[in-house]
Structure 1
Amino acid sequence: MNTLVLKYLEESCKNFKNKVAFIDEDNSITFEQIKHKALSISDEIITRLGYTNNKGILIFLPKNIDSIASMFGIVYSGNFYTPTNVDFPSKKIESILEALNPSLIITDTQNKNKLINLGISDKQIICLDLIDFSKSINSLKNNINSAIDTDIVYTYFTSGSTGTPKGVTINHKNIIDYIDWACDKFPIDETTIFGNQSALYFDITTQDIYATLKKAATMVIIPEKLFAFPIKAVEFIKEKNINFLYWVPSAYINLVNFKSLESISLDKIKSIMFGGEVMPVKHLNYLKDKLPNLNFIANVYGPTEATVNSTYYIIDRDFKEEESLPLGHVIENKRILILDENDRLITEQNKMGEICILGTSLSSGYYKNPEKTKESFVQNPLHSDYIDIMYRTGDLAIYNENNLLIFCGRKDNQIKHLGYRIELGEIETAALSLKEIDNCMSFYDSAKRNIVLLYVSNNEDFDSKKLKLALTNILPKYMVPTKYYQLEELPINTNGKIDRMLLKKQYS
């Protein structure tokens, strides 16, 4: 029985040691080579810290093979990793450092001074490019045999709606529970070549990385800079023979809006997945039309706190542009409860409630933050017979006529306007169904009592008056936005999603 995530790597090294495991813009590395590199990093960590267990170590490197080797090295040393971004503003880095208080930071000589300037001691820093990787593998120290499946593998810091970092702790059994299921359910094997888009501190990447280890697949890191030039991203995908994409919808939307697939055929793409945001059907239909060999599409849903995903829907029929894609079915070994405002279980169709999740892949809580943990990780209110912890997602859903879950937005996106309860996500779905709208985002300005719609249009003549008129034919009058702003593009946050906090601040 596999209880530790790096057993995936050990097995792939036995059977596929010379196969390329990871590729970035400049380099590639085999399973055997990345194991050696990871053990060398583990050796350096243990030399500094001794044989510790579950200490937090920050990774302050560009998104590349070295970052991934550092993750594995930290786990080999018996500790847990927190990836970050070398381009983060100093205030964000400081807030993560304060919340994590890392025992060590892994960086390189090029980025070391950024940490020194933040007051980090030189003794706390490991420069990856100064490690001696020539040592024989037998002489390298590791602490993996002392690990147990409840030890933390990583902590990802999410800012949430408050902007204050919350460190979601994910352990070995959380990851294994999800990855074993995903590799069984989705078409992933040794011929799979993932095209990784998400940041390494965003949990979509967990599937890319650990499915690569389990199935001896290959993961290609698509350079972040290419997503500003979608044609170049498409050229890179074609050049690297990538055949499996699991991206946030905003990345696909960007590809579609720039018509990046008009001149280049991505005939190797067989599988796509998306999650983290609502995927507009209009953009999905474009992808289906332009990817000639696409034969697997999945819409997935799940908060970071429940390890990557909790529901899935394999799309095997056509959808109209005004329809919503279902969240679908609950993943094996998870349970979802839809609870009303009084914590009563909802089983009937078309009645909305909050998604609450139980199961093995549920995080044990937020790092060094018992108050926030107690708020979100609570006793199942349907009984008090034994400890039965569930996670309150803050997401709203209904069961449709086919008993499939349908996402209805966030609790904090549900507003009361003119005496009506309104879900802002429904307004966005309506706007995105219009052929003139490429992207949009809605929020409520409670001070001025305005429903605000920010939108990107592909038609310069489609002004706010025409948009409002079109929406009046789709939405009830009380739901039609009262304020409109046309933008050239919607800003994206570090997780690749629409930066809703920034837009709300700018246009309130």
Structure 2
Amino acid sequence: MTQPDPTPYPLDHVIEGGGDDDAALALRNATLTYADLRTRVGQLATWLRKNVDSPGARVASWGAKGELTCLLPLAAPRAGLVHVPINPMLKRAQVAHIMADSGASLLVGTPARLATLEEGDVAAGCAVVEEGAALEAASGCDAMPASNADPQAIAAILYTSGSTGKPKGVVLSHANLWLGAVSVAHYLKLQSDDVTLAVLPLAFDYGQNQLLSTWYAGGCAAPLDYLMPRDVTKAVAKHGATTLAAVPPLWRQLVEAKWESGAGDSLRRLTNSGGALTPDLIDAMRETWPQADIYPMYGLTEAFRSTFLDPSLVATHPTSMGTAVPFAEVLVVDDAGGPAAPGEEGELVHCGPLVAKGYWQDAERTAQRYKPAPAHSEYGGTAVWSGDYVKRDADGLLYFVGRRDAMIKSAGNRISPQEIEDAALATGLVADAVAFGVPDTALGQAVHLVVRGEGSDDALRGALKRDLPSFMQPHTIEWRDTLPLNPNGKIDRTALFREITEGAAP
């Protein structure tokens, strides 16, 4: 695959390539052309500058998908400010933490969400404005010209969902976000006639890139907040969507949903991140949308996107993470710091210009994750040490093994939860599976498997005894009708682990 242009630009230039009369943003009651979009971004940037006249100040947004939340990622950096998008599914205590941690000078949000805030949730010097008022005021402003900012300047702080402890802010530059848009648009082969149905939250990198990569290619983004899978199927048909990005729990809901005749025929590409697609789910996706290419992807907010699997390899290598995306150097590093041999497990280390600038005002955690690149790196500089163990086969394809901090240590054996989960899913008896190690007096840790499905305990245990060695067998299998999801739509492993370990014997 040829590499795209690696030259970084200020982020708001991502909308400069679309034709003036071409559709850029399909909102609920109106569609903005690229000419409209450039004007609205410029007007909002002017309004922001008038209200927050301090370069580098943080501007937070807490609202549903709509005009404001789609414009702010470009308008705030154009105004020399830093955008802090807050997931609309978060509650006031989490929002209060993000506001305090980021030191935001302005919070713009929907009235209903802002009404939940209590005294002290927002600092005394922080202005709070309802989104309707902000848009109305901005419409009367002259449009600020496109930015000439240093591409290495900070453009956004994206707060993770807080899998351990409180959410932490990942600092992203104009260059990080610009090159991320270029990279994804390139390997997804996005074109100006593409329509992306943006169903993922805009407050994290995978979701925000739905907009940025589509606009870089000159296409149209259609933001959607959905309650039921049926809302997605109807929106795909309404907009003639060609691109749909999701996480595994949503994909499973969508393949089980009722699609009206021809409703999904417009889809050209389906992208996945935030968890691995299982072979049975891939088969279901291929059967539901036979005309669409499937792009399994792996990423982490600290380095945006690391790998993707070419659609031509999905059928033959369904469990592979693929190879590095453009602008990423992905290394498999052994315990000695050198390159791991083919088939040998090692830590995934991400190098290159997609690597973020660290955690906001958290030097200690930044130093734990952001370290000098290994000596054999071509890019050098600072790398993200992911904590994920992977292996690379003889053909160069990567495979996920497990997280360093999630590995189960039982009776002296080092066990990957992923391997147990994959085996459970492969039986066809369960729809979801999550494996943990829980404290056990004799073993150190015992395997606890949580599953969702309609199979039987005896059948599942029999299949696992057939497919896994004895030391990997679950000590406990817990059946549930539903599994908790975090604000990004992924299975909330932290909540499950907390429930399990709080009830486990020491």
CA-to-partner distance for each residue in 1:94-125, whole Å, 9 max, x for gaps?
21112111021122444433346444348612
Q: Do the aligned partners of residues 438 and 387 (structure 1) sit closer, same or farther apart at CA in structure 2, a change above 3 Å counting?
A: closer
In the alignment, structure 2 segments of 5+ residues that lack a partner are 1-6, 502-506
Q: Which residue, out of 339, 342, 349, partners 2:336? A: 342
8 Å Cα contact 2:243/2:267 also seen in 1: yes
Change (3 A) 1:123 1:276: closer
Partner of 2:404: 411
Aligned with residue 170 of structure 2, among 168, 176, 188? 168
Q: How many Å apart are 1:135 and its aligned residue?
A: 5.4
Aligned mates of 1:222, 1:425 — CA distance in 2: 32
Q: Secondary structure at the match of 1:114?
A: coil
Identity over aligned residues, as a percent? 21
The match for 1:330 is 324
CA contact (8 A) 1:351 1:398 kept: yes
SS of 1:11 mapped into structure 2: coil
Q: Secondary structure, in 3 states, of the residue corresponding to 2:108?
A: strand
**Helix, strand or coil for the counterpart of 1:300?**
strand
**Which of the residues 33, 36, 44 maps onto 1:33?**
36
Question: What is the CA distance between 1:238 and its match in structure 2?
Answer: 1.7
Give the aligned residue type for 1:216: G
Report the counterpart of residue 458 of structure 2 in structure 1.
465
Q: How does 1:3-82 map to 2 (within 5 A)?
A: 3-12=9-18, 16-50=19-53, 52-82=54-84
Alignment-mate amino acid for residue 310 of structure 2: I
Query: 1:427 and 2:427 equivalent?
Result: no
Alignment map for 1:133-212 (pairs within 5 Å): 139-141=142-144, 144-145=147-148, 147-212=149-214
Q: Residues of 2 paired with 1:484 and 1:362: CA distance?
A: 39
Which letter maps to 1:249?
A: P
Q: CA deviation at 1:203?
A: 0.9
Q: Which runs of 4+ in 1 moved over 6 A?
A: 383-387
1:254 corresponds to: 253
Q: 1:506 to 1:119 in 2, by over 3 A?
A: closer
- State the TM-score, normalizing by the size of structure 2: 0.90
Q: Which moved more, 1:370-379 or 1:80-89?
A: 80-89
Alpha-carbon distance between aligned partners in 2 of 1:333 and 1:140, rounded to the nearest angstrom = 33
Could you state the TM-score of these two structures normalised by the residue count of structure 1? 0.90
Cα distance between partner residues in 2 of 1:237 and 1:386: 40
Flag the 1:166–1:122 CA change in 2: closer, same or farther, 3 A.
closer
Matched residues in 2 for 1:386 and 1:283: separation? 36
How far has the Cα of 1:224 moved from its partner?
A: 2.9
CA spacing shift, 1:192–1:361, aligned 2, 3 Å: same
1:352 aligns with one of 331, 345, 352: 345
Q: In 2, distance between residues paired with 1:370 and 1:332?
A: 29
User: What is the DSSP-based 3-state SS (H/G/I as helix, E as strand, rest coil) of the residue aligned with 1:450?
Assistant: strand
Cα contact 2:156–2:171 (8 A) shared by 1: yes
State the 1:200 CA deviation. Answer: 0.9
| Partner AA of 2:101 in structure 1 | A
1-structure distance, mates of 2:8, 2:374:
33
1:292 paired residue number: 290
For the Cα contact (< 8 Å) 1:353–1:398, is it kept in 2?
A: yes
Measured in 1, the distance between the counterparts of 2:198 and 2:437 equals 34
Give the deviation of 1:170 after TM superposition. 1.0
- SS of equivalent residue, structure 2 residue 234: helix
CA contact (8 A) 2:234 2:263 kept: no
- Please give the alpha-carbon distance, in whole angstroms, between the structure 1 residues aligned to 2:257 and 2:138: 47
Residue 37 (structure 1) shift: 2.4
Question: Is the CA contact 1:42–1:142 (under 8 Å) kept in the aligned structure 2?
Answer: no
- Cα distance between partner residues in 1 of 2:87 and 2:163: 20
Tell me the SS of whatever aligns to 1:191. coil
CA offsets 1:289-329 (integer angstroms, 9 cap, x no match): 121322x221111211112x111111314647xx7521111
Q: Which residue of 1 aligns with 2:504?
A: none
Distance in 1, Cα, partners of 2:378 & 2:250: 45
Select between 325-334 and 105-114 the one with higher mean Cα deviation: 105-114
d(CA) in 1 for partners of 2:138 and 2:414? 64
Who is 1:375 aligned against? 368
Secondary structure, counterpart of 1:58 in structure 2: strand
Q: Are 1:78 and 1:143, in contact at CA under 8 Å, matched by a contact in 2?
A: no
Instruction: Quote the residue 1:240 is aligned against.
Output: 239
**What SS is found at the alignment partner of 1:212?**
helix
- In structure 1, what residue type is equivalent to 2:44? I
- Root mean square deviation, CA, Å: 2.5
Tell me what 1:101 maps to. Answer: 103
Indicate how the Cα distance of structure 1 residues 117 and 86 shifts in structure 2: closer, same or farther if over 3 A, else same: farther
State the match for 1:304 in structure 2: 301
Amino acid at match of 2:484: P
- Report the Cα offset of residue 156 of structure 1: 0.7
| Structure 1 residues 31-60: Cα deviation after superposition (integer angstroms, max 9, x where no partner) | 22233222222222211222x322211112
For structure 1, the residue ranges without an aligned partner over 5 or more in a row are none
Distance apart, 1:166 and its partner CA: 1.4
Shift of 1:507: 2.4
Query: What's the counterpart of residue 316 of structure 1?
Result: 312
Q: What SS does the aligned partner of 1:163 have?
A: coil
Amino acid across the alignment from 1:221: P
Equivalent residue in structure 1 for 2:131, among 128, 132, 136:
128
Distance 2:401 2:259 in 1: 31
SS, match of residue 166 in structure 2: coil
Q: Does structure 2 retain, via aligned residues, the 8 Å contact 1:234–1:264?
A: no
**Is the 2:47–2:138 contact (alpha carbons within 8 Å) kept by the matching residues of 1?**
no
Q: Which amino acid aligns with 1:426?
A: E
2:40–2:143 CA contact under 8 A, matched in 1: no
User: 2:447 & 2:303 partners in 1: Cα distance?
Assistant: 32
Counterpart contact for 1:408–1:423, Cα < 8 Å? yes
Q: CA–CA distance in 2 between the matches of 1:162 and 1:7?
A: 36
- Quickly say closer, same or farther: Cα 1:108–1:490, change in 2 above 3 A: closer
Residues 497 and 123 (structure 1), Cα distance of their counterparts in 2 relative to 1, 3 Å cut? closer
In 2, are the aligned partners of 1:99 and 1:165 still within 8 Å (CA)?
no
Q: CA deviation at 1:217?
A: 0.7
Contact between 2:198 and 2:222, CA under 8 Å: does it hold in 1? yes
